[in-house]
Amino acid sequence: MSFLKTLIRHPQGAVGLFLTALVLTMAAIGPSIAPLDPETMHFANRFEPPSAEFLLGTDWFGRDLLSRMMVGAQSTVLLALLATIIATTIGALIGIISGYLGGWLDEGIMRIVDAIMAIPGLLFALLIISALGTSALNAVIAIGIAFAPGMARISRSVTLQIRALDYVSAARSRGENSLWIVLAEILPNVAAPIIVEATIRVAFAIMTLATLSFLGLGAQPPSPEWGLMISQGREHMFRSPWPIIVPGGAIALVAIGFNLLGDGLRDVLNPKSEH
Amino acid sequence: MSASFLIKRLFLMVLTAFVVSIIVFGVTQLLPADAAVMILGENATPEAMAALSSRLGLDRPAPIQYFDWLVGVLHGDFGISLRTGQAVGPTIFEALGRSALLAALSLFTVSIVAIPLGVWAAARRGKAADLGVSVLSYMGISLPEFVLATLLLAWLAGPSVGLFPASGYTSPLENPLDALHHLALPVITLSIVLLAHISRMVRSEMVDTLDSDFIRAARLRGLPRRQVLFRHALRNSMLPAITVIALDIGYLIGGVIVVEEIFSFPGVGRQLILAIQNRDLPMLQAGVLIMSMTYALANLAADLAYAALDKRIQFS
């Protein structure tokens, strides 16, 4: 609890926490609290700017943009979270094992990780999607794999710091086996920095997922995924910018939220490092 | 810079290129539909497919196919596009030239804006100007290229404003002014996205430098504020900045893909998306490989520049 209090006193942390809480709530219960039905077409009210009836305006079919955005939160934010969890799990596993074991194995793994990171993230995700085929779930897997090397590198560098500490040497000289040392001594201590990094990665995952959907390689119609909404709104962009502004603003707001929360968490969990 | 550093770094580059080539080839080998299906369609007879497979060499073991492909690539032969039936090499290198122009113009534009902005924010740390730059850069790193590009397109290329063309490309050799006109919106989009990264990074490096003793000494000697900021502090902050700008080329490449697609700019990114949509394997492999190598070369150049500029760094 004292941790939450410190986070709230931190300006970036507080705003980030508020924004992410808002978005996660929307993703969880958005469909049931949306003011209007997201699929109902109000043909008399096409391309409306924000008004009392349609708070954020309507699209080319006269569908309520606020309601569509709230429903779309699920397919955008939850899937991005899933992608980040996949990346963090794979990356942390590789990074911790590599860093703990050290030696030529570590050297070899890290050379491969470096080489994979020589492929820019979006490009690698595109490569994987081309192999898996286009669907929302494949986009999630692609992002999970593409982000894993970065997480591995960070987990390894944290593991190296922890491994050099006395209590790990103590556990070793007590004759504990490696698996036990990794699980009981190393994992709890590398968790915090990894969580900070993962939080910031969620922002990238949301942006990448929306980008893939926008390119037609992620979520498919009629999903109200935000990137896809923008892609469809392009056809009518000279008639009304609102079908682009609303989901675009939502993406930016969520990404800002996770970025701020990540920065806040970093400062609170590790007061020594100033960024 | 010692010779051993240079050799080690070049060796690393070759190793990276090798592993990347294996990844690119390996992942594209997993494609659900193979090239024979792609050419003949789903309804072809098994005999026809087998015949074509053996003609294209697709029935040989994967390592041999990889080796053949690699030897071709090293000779500049990237195979034949399954979509157009033309050689991939000339197409992709022509597209690379256009993309390079787009990327270079964006990097240039962003440098002349982002560096002074970062210095200004650092000099006024904690004041309104600093906060303003911070807020703007948070917004910048949180707005994906495709959203920004689409909004700029709807606004500046729309019928009411109509400042710029919505899409297309003109060669700068034929008509330089028209070429710039077509490049403007893609360059503005990429610059704004990079602006956030680079100004934020320059600011944080400057803040660290401004806290150091030699800056305090320079101030105490009564040197003009501007001279301290730009001569002493910025020079020492630019060294770490080089590495970050090289890393930003990774983002830039992602941005180039998206922006080219939105503005129908005929560069590598657009070729790549077309290749994915059409399952054009050789074009896909060439596009990913060339973009990754560009990124790796940028990192190599940054490392070498860093080592050449900072006499303390050898290799660790």
By the CB < 8 Å criterion, does B19 face chain A? Answer: yes
pLDDT of residue A271: 52
pLDDT of residue B34: 61
C-alpha pair distances (Å), B286 with each of A50, A153, B60, B78: 46, 27, 21, 6
State how far the Cα of A248 lies from the Cα of A230, in Å rounded to an integer.
Answer: 7
Check: CB of residue B114 under 8 Å from CB of residue B195: yes
pLDDT tens digits, A118-137: 888 899 999 999 888 889 99
CB contact under 8 A, A119 and B143: no
State how far the Cα of A207 lies from the Cα of A122, in Å rounded to an integer.
Answer: 10
pLDDT of residue A275: 40
pLDDT for residue B309 is more than 90: no
Name residues whose C-beta falls within 8 Å of residue B212's C-beta, 6 or more positions apart in sequence.
B236
CB contact under 8 A, A130 and B31: yes
A-chain CB neighbours of B27 within 8 Å are 127-128, 130-131
- Lookup: tokens for B86: 């033309």
pLDDT of residue A272: 52
Partner residue facing B143 (CB), from A126, A241, A252: A252
pLDDT of residue A141: 95
pLDDT of residue B246: 77
CB contact under 8 A, B19 and A115: yes
Three-state DSSP class for residue A64: strand
Q: Is the CA virtual torsion B221, B223, B228, B231 positive or negative?
A: negative
pLDDT of residue B303: 83
Partner residue facing A215 (CB), from B147, B153, B261: B261
Which of A84-88, A197-201, B158-162, B226-230 is most confident?
A84-88
A-chain CB neighbours of B145 within 8 Å are 211
Distance separating the N- and C-terminal Cα atoms of chain B: 13
- The alpha carbon of residue B272 is apart from the nearest alpha carbon of chain A, in Å, by 9
- Which of the four pLDDT bands, split at 50, 70 and 90, describes residue B42? low
pLDDT of residue B39: 66
CB contact under 8 A, A133 and B279: no
Identify the closest residue of chain A to B262 by CA–CA distance. Answer: A215
pLDDT for residue B113 is more than 70: yes
pLDDT for residue A274 is more than 60: no
Three-state DSSP class for residue A58: strand
Residue with tokens 């059409």: B278
Nearest-CA neighbor of B197 among B235, B142, B279? B142
State how far the Cα of A127 lies from the Cα of A136, in Å rounded to an integer.
Answer: 15
pLDDT tens digits, B6-23: 888 888 889 889 999 999
Nearest-CA neighbor of B125 among B208, B217, B233? B208
State how far the Cα of A44 lies from the Cα of A55, in Å rounded to an integer.
Answer: 16
Choose the mutation target among B136, B292, B294, B303 for the interface with A, i.e. most A CBs under 10 Å.
Answer: B292
Higher-pLDDT residue of A272 and A174 is: A174
By the CB < 8 Å criterion, does A239 face chain B? Answer: no
CB contact under 8 A, B150 and A234: yes
Count CB neighbours of B76 within 10 A: 10
**H-type alpha helices, chain A:** 2-9, 11-33, 65-73, 79-101, 103-117, 121-132, 136-163, 166-173, 178-180, 187-214, 226-233, 242-269
Q: What is the mean pLDDT of chain A?
A: 85
Could you tell me the pTM of the whole model?
0.88
pLDDT tens digits, A63-100: 888 888 888 888 888 999 999 999 999 999 999 999 98
Beta bridge partners of B87: B80
State how far the Cα of A183 lies from the Cα of B10, in Å rounded to an integer.
Answer: 38
Choose the mutation target among A129, A211, A217, A274 for the interface with B, i.e. most B CBs under 10 Å.
Answer: A211
A-chain CB neighbours of B288 within 8 Å are 119, 123, 126-127
State how far the Cα of B249 lies from the Cα of B256, in Å rounded to an integer.
Answer: 10
CB contact under 8 A, A237 and B30: no
A-chain CB neighbours of B142 within 8 Å are 203, 207, 251-253, 255-256, 259
By the CB < 8 Å criterion, does B72 face chain A? Answer: no
- Which of the four pLDDT bands, split at 50, 70 and 90, describes residue B83? confident
Residue type, B200: R
Q: What mean pLDDT comes out for the span A159-180?
A: 82
As to burial, measured by CB atoms within 10 angstroms (0-12 exposed, 13-18 middle, 19+ buried), residue B156 is middle
pLDDT of residue A1: 59
pLDDT of residue A90: 95
CB contact under 8 A, B153 and A251: no
DSSP letter string, B42-100:
TT--HHHHHHHHHHHTTTS-HHHHHHHHHHHHHTT---B-TTT-SBHHHHHHHHHHHHH
| Poorest-pLDDT segment among B113-117, B256-260, B288-292 | B113-117
pLDDT of residue B280: 86
As to burial, measured by CB atoms within 10 angstroms (0-12 exposed, 13-18 middle, 19+ buried), residue B238 is middle
Partner residue facing B150 (CB), from A126, A130, A237: A237
pLDDT for residue B289 is more than 90: yes
By the CB < 8 Å criterion, does B32 face chain A? Answer: yes
ipTM for the assembly: 0.85
Identify the closest residue of chain A to B279 by CA–CA distance. Answer: A130
Count CB neighbours of A274 within 10 A: 10
Residue type, A188: P
pLDDT tens digits, A100-121: 888 899 988 988 898 888 888 8
- Which of the four pLDDT bands, split at 50, 70 and 90, describes residue B315? very low
pLDDT tens digits, B118-151: 888 888 888 888 888 888 888 888 889 999 999 8
Check: CB of residue A141 under 8 Å from CB of residue A124: no
Three-state DSSP class for residue A45: helix
pLDDT of residue B91: 92
A-chain CB neighbours of B23 within 8 Å are 115-116, 119, 127
pLDDT tens digits, A208-254: 999 999 999 989 888 888 999 999 888 887 888 888 888 999 999 99
Name residues whose C-beta falls within 8 Å of residue B17's C-beta, 6 or more positions apart in sequence.
B293, B296
- Which of the four pLDDT bands, split at 50, 70 and 90, describes residue B222? confident
| Poorest-pLDDT segment among A45-49, B250-254, B263-267 | A45-49
pLDDT of residue B33: 54
State how far the Cα of B20 lies from the Cα of B115, in Å rounded to an integer.
Answer: 33
User: Which DSSP category does A227 fall into?
Assistant: H
pLDDT of residue B244: 74
Using CA atoms in the order A184, A186, A191, A194, what is the torsion angle rounded to 10 degrees? -150
By the CB < 8 Å criterion, does B258 face chain A? Answer: yes
pLDDT for residue B230 is more than 90: no
- Lookup: tokens for B279: 């399952």
Q: What mean pLDDT comes out for the span B85-94?
A: 90
Identify the closest residue of chain B to A200 by CA–CA distance. Answer: B142
Partner residue facing A237 (CB), from B30, B153, B279: B153
- Lookup: tokens for A248: 């675009």
pLDDT tens digits, B90-103: 999 999 999 999 99
3-state secondary structure B156-204: HCCCCCCCCCCCCCCCCCCCHHHHHHHHHHHHHHHHHHHHHHHHHHHHH
